[in-house]
Structure 1
Amino acid sequence: MNQVWYVAYGSNLALERFSCYLYGGRPRGGARVYPGCRDVTPPAQLAAVTAPGGLVFAGASKVWGGGSAFYNAAAPTQLAGRAYLLTLDQLADVAAQEMWREPGGAYALELATLLPQVAEIHSAGPGRYETVVRLGELDGLPMFTVTHGTVAELEPVAPTASYLQWIATGLVEAHRWSRQQVVDYLQAAPGVQLGWTPGALRSVLDGDAGGGG
Protein backbone atom coordinates (compact mmCIF):
# COMPACT_ATOMS: atom_id res chain seq x y z
CA MET A 1 0.00 0.00 0.00
CA ASN A 2 1.53 3.30 -1.07
CA GLN A 3 -1.54 5.49 -1.62
CA VAL A 4 -3.82 6.63 1.20
CA TRP A 5 -6.52 9.22 1.70
CA TYR A 6 -5.82 12.12 4.03
CA VAL A 7 -9.15 13.48 5.32
CA ALA A 8 -9.12 17.18 6.19
CA TYR A 9 -11.88 18.74 8.27
CA GLY A 10 -10.42 22.12 9.34
CA SER A 11 -8.80 24.82 7.24
CA ASN A 12 -7.21 22.12 5.05
CA LEU A 13 -10.65 21.57 3.55
CA ALA A 14 -9.68 24.47 1.25
CA LEU A 15 -7.31 23.37 -1.50
CA GLU A 16 -5.39 26.65 -1.54
CA ARG A 17 -4.70 26.40 2.16
CA PHE A 18 -3.80 22.69 2.02
CA SER A 19 -1.36 23.46 -0.79
CA CYS A 20 0.91 25.09 1.80
CA TYR A 21 1.35 21.70 3.43
CA LEU A 22 2.22 20.15 0.08
CA TYR A 23 4.31 22.81 -1.63
CA GLY A 24 5.30 25.10 1.22
CA GLY A 25 4.34 28.70 1.91
CA ARG A 26 2.18 30.80 4.23
CA PRO A 27 -1.62 30.73 3.93
CA ARG A 28 -3.47 34.03 3.73
CA GLY A 29 -4.23 35.22 7.26
CA GLY A 30 -1.94 32.63 8.85
CA ALA A 31 1.10 33.21 11.03
CA ARG A 32 3.29 30.37 9.77
CA VAL A 33 5.39 29.50 6.73
CA TYR A 34 5.19 25.76 6.01
CA PRO A 35 8.18 23.84 4.62
CA GLY A 36 6.00 21.57 2.47
CA CYS A 37 6.31 17.86 1.69
CA ARG A 38 9.40 16.18 0.32
CA ASP A 39 7.27 14.93 -2.58
CA VAL A 40 5.35 17.82 -4.13
CA THR A 41 3.25 15.69 -6.48
CA PRO A 42 -0.35 17.03 -6.45
CA PRO A 43 -3.04 14.78 -4.91
CA ALA A 44 -4.07 12.05 -7.32
CA GLN A 45 -7.74 12.62 -6.48
CA LEU A 46 -9.97 14.75 -4.26
CA ALA A 47 -13.31 13.67 -2.80
CA ALA A 48 -15.98 15.01 -0.48
CA VAL A 49 -16.54 12.60 2.42
CA THR A 50 -18.49 12.35 5.66
CA ALA A 51 -17.72 10.30 8.75
CA PRO A 52 -19.44 9.53 12.05
CA GLY A 53 -18.37 11.98 14.73
CA GLY A 54 -18.09 15.72 14.77
CA LEU A 55 -16.09 18.91 14.70
CA VAL A 56 -14.96 20.71 17.86
CA PHE A 57 -12.83 23.82 18.42
CA ALA A 58 -10.48 23.82 21.39
CA GLY A 59 -6.96 24.66 22.53
CA ALA A 60 -5.00 27.53 21.01
CA SER A 61 -3.97 27.63 17.35
CA LYS A 62 -0.46 28.99 16.77
CA VAL A 63 -1.34 29.73 13.15
CA TRP A 64 -4.76 31.38 13.45
CA GLY A 65 -5.22 32.23 17.11
CA GLY A 66 -8.38 31.05 18.86
CA GLY A 67 -9.48 27.43 18.99
CA SER A 68 -8.10 24.73 16.70
CA ALA A 69 -10.37 22.29 14.85
CA PHE A 70 -10.35 18.71 16.12
CA TYR A 71 -12.24 15.56 15.19
CA ASN A 72 -14.26 13.98 17.99
CA ALA A 73 -15.15 10.43 16.93
CA ALA A 74 -17.57 10.12 19.87
CA ALA A 75 -19.77 13.05 18.86
CA PRO A 76 -23.32 12.03 17.82
CA THR A 77 -23.12 13.95 14.55
CA GLN A 78 -21.45 13.76 11.13
CA LEU A 79 -18.08 15.20 10.20
CA ALA A 80 -17.80 16.88 6.79
CA GLY A 81 -14.38 16.23 5.32
CA ARG A 82 -12.37 16.43 2.14
CA ALA A 83 -10.19 13.49 1.17
CA TYR A 84 -6.89 13.97 -0.66
CA LEU A 85 -5.29 10.91 -2.27
CA LEU A 86 -1.63 11.09 -1.26
CA THR A 87 1.35 8.80 -0.89
CA LEU A 88 2.20 7.39 2.52
CA ASP A 89 5.23 9.66 2.73
CA GLN A 90 3.17 12.73 1.85
CA LEU A 91 0.60 11.97 4.53
CA ALA A 92 3.40 11.43 7.05
CA ASP A 93 4.95 14.77 6.09
CA VAL A 94 1.58 16.53 6.42
CA ALA A 95 1.08 15.03 9.88
CA ALA A 96 4.61 16.03 10.88
CA GLN A 97 3.95 19.65 9.86
CA GLU A 98 0.74 19.62 11.89
CA MET A 99 3.00 19.03 14.89
CA TRP A 100 5.59 21.64 13.80
CA ARG A 101 8.04 18.86 12.97
CA GLU A 102 10.30 18.41 9.99
CA PRO A 103 8.99 16.66 6.86
CA GLY A 104 11.08 13.54 6.42
CA GLY A 105 12.20 13.64 10.06
CA ALA A 106 12.05 10.82 12.58
CA TYR A 107 8.36 11.38 13.36
CA ALA A 108 7.36 11.32 9.68
CA LEU A 109 9.45 8.24 8.91
CA GLU A 110 7.99 6.34 11.86
CA LEU A 111 4.44 7.32 10.96
CA ALA A 112 4.83 6.22 7.33
CA THR A 113 5.91 2.81 8.59
CA LEU A 114 3.07 2.53 11.11
CA LEU A 115 0.15 3.76 8.97
CA PRO A 116 -0.48 0.50 7.07
CA GLN A 117 -0.90 -1.26 10.43
CA VAL A 118 -3.39 1.23 11.93
CA ALA A 119 -6.78 -0.48 12.08
CA GLU A 120 -8.66 2.17 14.09
CA ILE A 121 -6.64 4.59 16.23
CA HIS A 122 -2.95 5.12 16.87
CA SER A 123 -1.60 7.74 19.28
CA ALA A 124 2.00 8.67 18.58
CA GLY A 125 2.07 11.13 21.46
CA PRO A 126 0.09 13.59 23.56
CA GLY A 127 0.30 16.46 21.08
CA ARG A 128 -2.58 18.25 19.38
CA TYR A 129 -2.54 16.20 16.17
CA GLU A 130 -0.48 13.17 17.18
CA THR A 131 -3.40 10.74 17.10
CA VAL A 132 -4.18 9.08 13.76
CA VAL A 133 -7.71 7.79 13.16
CA ARG A 134 -8.65 5.42 10.36
CA LEU A 135 -12.03 6.40 8.92
CA GLY A 136 -12.69 3.35 6.78
CA GLU A 137 -11.96 3.06 3.07
CA LEU A 138 -12.72 4.90 -0.14
CA ASP A 139 -12.24 3.13 -3.47
CA GLY A 140 -10.45 0.34 -1.66
CA LEU A 141 -7.86 2.59 -0.01
CA PRO A 142 -7.76 3.56 3.69
CA MET A 143 -8.79 7.01 4.88
CA PHE A 144 -6.87 8.64 7.75
CA THR A 145 -7.19 11.86 9.68
CA VAL A 146 -5.36 13.34 12.65
CA THR A 147 -6.74 14.73 15.90
CA HIS A 148 -6.09 15.13 19.63
CA GLY A 149 -6.05 11.86 21.56
CA THR A 150 -8.19 13.20 24.40
CA VAL A 151 -10.32 15.60 22.38
CA ALA A 152 -13.48 14.80 24.37
CA GLU A 153 -11.80 16.22 27.49
CA LEU A 154 -10.81 19.56 25.94
CA GLU A 155 -12.59 22.77 26.84
CA PRO A 156 -14.21 24.35 23.74
CA VAL A 157 -12.65 27.63 22.54
CA ALA A 158 -14.02 29.98 19.88
CA PRO A 159 -12.12 30.01 16.56
CA THR A 160 -11.02 33.18 14.77
CA ALA A 161 -12.60 34.76 11.71
CA SER A 162 -9.75 33.92 9.32
CA TYR A 163 -9.81 30.27 10.38
CA LEU A 164 -13.57 30.03 9.90
CA GLN A 165 -13.29 31.63 6.47
CA TRP A 166 -10.88 28.93 5.30
CA ILE A 167 -13.07 26.15 6.68
CA ALA A 168 -16.14 27.64 5.02
CA THR A 169 -14.29 27.97 1.72
CA GLY A 170 -13.37 24.30 1.87
CA LEU A 171 -16.89 23.18 2.74
CA VAL A 172 -18.27 25.04 -0.28
CA GLU A 173 -15.50 23.73 -2.56
CA ALA A 174 -15.84 20.11 -1.48
CA HIS A 175 -19.51 19.71 -0.59
CA ARG A 176 -21.07 22.52 -2.66
CA TRP A 177 -22.94 23.70 0.40
CA SER A 178 -24.96 26.88 0.57
CA ARG A 179 -23.96 29.62 2.99
CA GLN A 180 -26.80 28.60 5.30
CA GLN A 181 -25.66 24.97 5.33
CA VAL A 182 -22.16 26.12 6.27
CA VAL A 183 -23.48 28.38 9.04
CA ASP A 184 -25.66 25.60 10.47
CA TYR A 185 -22.78 23.10 10.41
CA LEU A 186 -20.29 25.44 12.07
CA GLN A 187 -22.78 26.70 14.67
CA ALA A 188 -23.31 23.11 15.81
CA ALA A 189 -19.58 22.64 16.51
CA PRO A 190 -18.62 23.15 20.18
CA GLY A 191 -16.63 26.35 20.56
CA VAL A 192 -18.21 28.37 17.76
CA GLN A 193 -21.17 29.62 19.80
CA LEU A 194 -18.76 30.94 22.43
CA GLY A 195 -17.64 33.65 20.01
CA TRP A 196 -20.06 33.82 17.11
CA THR A 197 -23.77 34.40 16.71
CA PRO A 198 -25.32 33.07 13.48
CA GLY A 199 -25.50 36.64 12.13
CA ALA A 200 -21.86 37.38 12.93
CA LEU A 201 -20.84 34.07 11.41
CA ARG A 202 -22.67 34.92 8.19
CA SER A 203 -20.81 38.23 8.04
CA VAL A 204 -17.49 36.43 8.42
CA LEU A 205 -18.34 33.93 5.70
CA ASP A 206 -19.23 36.85 3.45
CA GLY A 207 -15.70 38.15 3.90
CA ASP A 208 -16.13 40.63 6.73
CA ALA A 209 -13.34 39.50 9.06
CA GLY A 210 -14.29 42.29 11.42
CA GLY A 211 -17.52 40.58 12.42
CA GLY A 212 -17.60 39.52 16.04
CA GLY A 213 -19.99 37.72 18.21
Structure 2
Amino acid sequence: MPGTHVWYVSYGSNMAAARLACYLEGGCPPGGTRANPGAHDPTPPARSVPVDLPGTLYFHGDSPQWGGGVAFYDHDTPGWTAARAYLLTAAQLADVAAQEMYRAPCPDDPLVGLLGRPLPDGRHAMGPGRYETLVEVGRLDGLPLLTLTAPYGAGHVEHHRPSAAYLRMLGDGLRESRGWSAAEVAAYLRARVVEATP
Protein backbone atom coordinates (compact mmCIF):
# COMPACT_ATOMS: atom_id res chain seq x y z
CA MET A 1 0.00 0.00 0.00
CA PRO A 2 1.21 3.59 -0.50
CA GLY A 3 3.34 4.71 2.41
CA THR A 4 4.66 1.23 3.12
CA HIS A 5 8.42 1.31 3.57
CA VAL A 6 10.84 -0.87 1.62
CA TRP A 7 14.60 -1.01 1.30
CA TYR A 8 15.87 0.32 -2.01
CA VAL A 9 19.25 -1.30 -2.65
CA SER A 10 21.70 0.62 -4.83
CA TYR A 11 24.95 -0.86 -6.13
CA GLY A 12 25.77 1.98 -8.57
CA SER A 13 25.86 5.76 -8.48
CA ASN A 14 22.86 5.97 -6.13
CA MET A 15 25.08 4.67 -3.33
CA ALA A 16 26.16 8.34 -3.13
CA ALA A 17 23.60 10.30 -1.12
CA ALA A 18 24.00 13.35 -3.40
CA ARG A 19 23.04 11.27 -6.42
CA LEU A 20 19.99 9.70 -4.79
CA ALA A 21 18.91 13.15 -3.59
CA CYS A 22 18.52 14.23 -7.22
CA TYR A 23 15.96 11.45 -7.72
CA LEU A 24 14.09 12.49 -4.57
CA GLU A 25 14.47 16.27 -4.54
CA GLY A 26 15.21 16.90 -8.23
CA GLY A 27 18.31 18.37 -9.85
CA CYS A 28 21.43 17.38 -11.75
CA PRO A 29 24.00 15.19 -9.99
CA PRO A 30 27.63 16.37 -9.71
CA GLY A 31 29.37 15.39 -12.94
CA GLY A 32 26.09 14.55 -14.68
CA THR A 33 24.49 16.25 -17.68
CA ARG A 34 20.74 15.86 -17.08
CA ALA A 35 18.42 17.17 -14.37
CA ASN A 36 15.97 14.81 -12.69
CA PRO A 37 12.43 15.99 -11.88
CA GLY A 38 12.47 14.44 -8.41
CA ALA A 39 9.94 12.33 -6.53
CA HIS A 40 6.46 13.37 -5.43
CA ASP A 41 7.71 12.93 -1.87
CA PRO A 42 11.21 14.46 -1.53
CA THR A 43 11.70 13.28 2.06
CA PRO A 44 15.25 11.92 2.59
CA PRO A 45 15.63 8.20 3.35
CA ALA A 46 14.71 7.26 6.91
CA ARG A 47 17.90 5.15 7.19
CA SER A 48 20.71 3.74 5.11
CA VAL A 49 22.90 0.71 5.74
CA PRO A 50 25.68 -1.04 3.79
CA VAL A 51 24.77 -4.47 2.46
CA ASP A 52 26.75 -7.18 0.67
CA LEU A 53 24.94 -8.86 -2.22
CA PRO A 54 25.67 -12.29 -3.67
CA GLY A 55 26.16 -11.79 -7.39
CA THR A 56 28.19 -9.83 -9.91
CA LEU A 57 28.50 -6.14 -10.73
CA TYR A 58 29.10 -5.29 -14.40
CA PHE A 59 29.11 -2.18 -16.59
CA HIS A 60 27.18 -1.94 -19.84
CA GLY A 61 25.51 0.52 -22.19
CA ASP A 62 26.10 4.20 -22.89
CA SER A 63 24.57 6.51 -20.32
CA PRO A 64 22.87 9.76 -21.47
CA GLN A 65 23.58 11.12 -17.97
CA TRP A 66 27.23 10.12 -17.51
CA GLY A 67 28.57 8.83 -20.83
CA GLY A 68 30.11 5.36 -20.87
CA GLY A 69 28.83 2.21 -19.20
CA VAL A 70 26.71 2.14 -16.08
CA ALA A 71 26.41 -0.44 -13.31
CA PHE A 72 24.13 -3.46 -13.44
CA TYR A 73 23.69 -6.30 -11.01
CA ASP A 74 23.57 -9.97 -12.00
CA HIS A 75 22.01 -11.89 -9.11
CA ASP A 76 22.63 -15.27 -10.76
CA THR A 77 26.36 -15.05 -11.53
CA PRO A 78 28.70 -15.91 -8.62
CA GLY A 79 30.55 -13.07 -6.97
CA TRP A 80 29.84 -10.33 -4.47
CA THR A 81 28.67 -6.78 -4.84
CA ALA A 82 28.93 -3.89 -2.39
CA ALA A 83 25.63 -2.03 -2.06
CA ARG A 84 23.79 0.48 0.09
CA ALA A 85 20.19 0.03 1.23
CA TYR A 86 17.98 3.08 1.76
CA LEU A 87 14.71 2.97 3.67
CA LEU A 88 12.16 4.64 1.35
CA THR A 89 8.41 4.50 0.90
CA ALA A 90 7.13 2.28 -1.89
CA ALA A 91 5.95 5.40 -3.71
CA GLN A 92 9.42 6.94 -3.54
CA LEU A 93 11.00 3.78 -4.95
CA ALA A 94 8.48 3.77 -7.80
CA ASP A 95 9.44 7.38 -8.57
CA VAL A 96 13.16 6.49 -8.50
CA ALA A 97 12.51 3.54 -10.84
CA ALA A 98 10.67 5.79 -13.32
CA GLN A 99 13.51 8.30 -13.39
CA GLU A 100 16.08 5.53 -13.90
CA MET A 101 14.27 4.92 -17.19
CA TYR A 102 14.14 8.67 -17.99
CA ARG A 103 10.40 8.84 -17.39
CA ALA A 104 8.51 11.35 -15.28
CA PRO A 105 7.23 9.89 -12.00
CA CYS A 106 3.53 9.02 -12.05
CA PRO A 107 1.41 9.46 -8.91
CA ASP A 108 -0.62 6.34 -9.77
CA ASP A 109 2.31 4.10 -10.67
CA PRO A 110 1.11 0.46 -10.46
CA LEU A 111 4.53 -0.50 -9.14
CA VAL A 112 3.58 0.97 -5.74
CA GLY A 113 0.99 -1.73 -5.12
CA LEU A 114 3.36 -4.47 -6.24
CA LEU A 115 6.04 -3.38 -3.76
CA GLY A 116 3.82 -4.18 -0.81
CA ARG A 117 3.70 -7.91 -1.67
CA PRO A 118 6.32 -10.65 -2.09
CA LEU A 119 7.58 -10.84 -5.67
CA PRO A 120 6.82 -14.09 -7.54
CA ASP A 121 10.12 -15.98 -7.87
CA GLY A 122 11.83 -13.02 -6.19
CA ARG A 123 11.72 -10.79 -9.26
CA HIS A 124 9.36 -8.80 -11.46
CA ALA A 125 9.86 -7.49 -15.01
CA MET A 126 8.27 -4.07 -15.33
CA GLY A 127 9.38 -3.95 -18.97
CA PRO A 128 12.37 -4.73 -21.22
CA GLY A 129 14.38 -1.66 -20.24
CA ARG A 130 17.76 -1.57 -18.59
CA TYR A 131 16.49 -0.86 -15.05
CA GLU A 132 13.05 -2.41 -15.35
CA THR A 133 13.77 -5.72 -13.61
CA LEU A 134 13.03 -5.60 -9.90
CA VAL A 135 14.86 -8.18 -7.77
CA GLU A 136 14.29 -8.97 -4.11
CA VAL A 137 17.76 -9.69 -2.70
CA GLY A 138 16.71 -10.43 0.89
CA ARG A 139 14.93 -8.89 3.85
CA LEU A 140 16.02 -6.58 6.63
CA ASP A 141 13.96 -5.75 9.71
CA GLY A 142 11.07 -7.61 8.12
CA LEU A 143 11.05 -5.44 4.98
CA PRO A 144 12.12 -6.47 1.46
CA LEU A 145 15.49 -5.44 0.06
CA LEU A 146 14.74 -4.47 -3.56
CA THR A 147 17.07 -3.51 -6.38
CA LEU A 148 16.68 -2.53 -10.03
CA THR A 149 18.70 -4.07 -12.82
CA ALA A 150 18.57 -5.25 -16.43
CA PRO A 151 16.79 -8.39 -17.65
CA TYR A 152 20.06 -9.73 -19.08
CA GLY A 153 23.03 -11.09 -17.14
CA ALA A 154 26.70 -10.20 -17.24
CA GLY A 155 27.52 -13.00 -19.66
CA HIS A 156 25.04 -11.87 -22.31
CA VAL A 157 26.24 -8.35 -23.14
CA GLU A 158 29.39 -6.43 -23.99
CA HIS A 159 30.95 -4.70 -21.00
CA HIS A 160 31.58 -0.97 -21.45
CA ARG A 161 33.97 1.18 -19.49
CA PRO A 162 32.30 3.74 -17.18
CA SER A 163 33.17 7.44 -17.35
CA ALA A 164 35.46 9.00 -14.76
CA ALA A 165 32.55 11.06 -13.40
CA TYR A 166 30.44 7.94 -12.89
CA LEU A 167 33.25 6.09 -11.14
CA ARG A 168 33.81 9.10 -8.87
CA MET A 169 30.14 8.93 -7.86
CA LEU A 170 30.41 5.21 -7.12
CA GLY A 171 33.53 5.92 -5.09
CA ASP A 172 31.71 8.58 -3.09
CA GLY A 173 28.98 6.09 -2.27
CA LEU A 174 31.40 3.39 -1.20
CA ARG A 175 33.26 5.81 1.09
CA GLU A 176 30.05 7.21 2.60
CA SER A 177 28.39 3.88 3.25
CA ARG A 178 31.39 1.76 4.22
CA GLY A 179 34.09 4.15 5.34
CA TRP A 180 36.48 2.71 2.76
CA SER A 181 39.77 4.38 1.99
CA ALA A 182 40.64 5.62 -1.48
CA ALA A 183 42.81 2.54 -1.96
CA GLU A 184 39.96 0.17 -0.98
CA VAL A 185 37.56 1.93 -3.35
CA ALA A 186 40.07 1.79 -6.20
CA ALA A 187 40.75 -1.92 -5.67
CA TYR A 188 37.04 -2.78 -5.62
CA LEU A 189 36.27 -0.82 -8.79
CA ARG A 190 39.41 -1.93 -10.63
CA ALA A 191 38.48 -5.59 -10.14
CA ARG A 192 35.08 -4.99 -11.72
CA VAL A 193 35.99 -2.63 -14.54
CA VAL A 194 39.03 -4.59 -15.76
CA GLU A 195 37.03 -6.67 -18.22
CA ALA A 196 35.20 -3.66 -19.64
CA THR A 197 35.93 -2.64 -23.22
CA PRO A 198 36.65 1.04 -24.03
The TM tier, using the shorter chain, reads: over 0.9
Match of 2:187 in 1: 184
Report the counterpart of residue 125 of structure 1 in structure 2. Answer: 127
Contact 1:186 1:192 in 2 (8 A): no
Q: Which residue of structure 2 aligns with residue 150 of structure 1?
A: 152
RMSD between aligned residues? 1.5
Tell me by how many angstroms 1:117 deviates. Answer: 3.5
Which amino acid is the alignment partner of residue 118 of structure 1?
A: L
- Partner SS, residue 43 of structure 2: coil
TM normalised by structure 2 equals 0.92
Aligned length: 193
Moved over 6 A (4+): none
Distance in 2, matches of 1:151 and 1:90, equals: 26
CA distance in 2, matches of 1:91, 1:63: 20
Aligned equivalent of 1:174, options 162, 177, 194: 177
The answer as to whether partners of 1:50 and 1:81 remain within 8 angstroms in 2 is yes
Aligned to 1:97: 99
Q: Give 1:200's aligned residue.
A: none
Q: Report SS of the residue matched to 1:117.
A: coil
Give TM-score scaled by structure 1 length: 0.86
Contact kept? 2:40, 2:107, Cα under 8 Å: no
Structure 1 gaps of 5+ residues are 196-213
1:191/1:60 CA distance change after superposition, 3 Å: farther
Query: Which sections of structure 2, spanning at least 5 residues, go unmatched?
Result: none
CA distance in structure 2 between the partners assigned to 1:79 and 1:165 by the alignment: 17
1:8 maps to what in 2?
10
CA distance 1:192–1:29, change in 2 (3 Å): farther
> Following the alignment from structure 2 to structure 1, what is the Cα–Cα distance between the partners of residues 135 and 107?
21
Is the 1:133–1:146 contact (alpha carbons within 8 Å) kept by the matching residues of 2?
yes
**Cα distance in 1 between the residues matched to 2:56 and 2:183:** 18
Instruction: Output the CA distance in 2 between the equivalents of 1:148 and 1:193.
Output: 17
Q: How far apart are residue 191 of structure 1 and its match?
A: 5.7
Whether the 8 Å contact between 2:160 and 2:196 is mirrored in structure 1 is no
Q: Give the one of 167, 180, 187 matched to 1:164.
A: 167
Higher relative contact order, chain-length normalized (CA < 8 Å, sep 6+): 2
**2:52 touches 2:82 (CA, 8 Å); kept in 1?**
yes
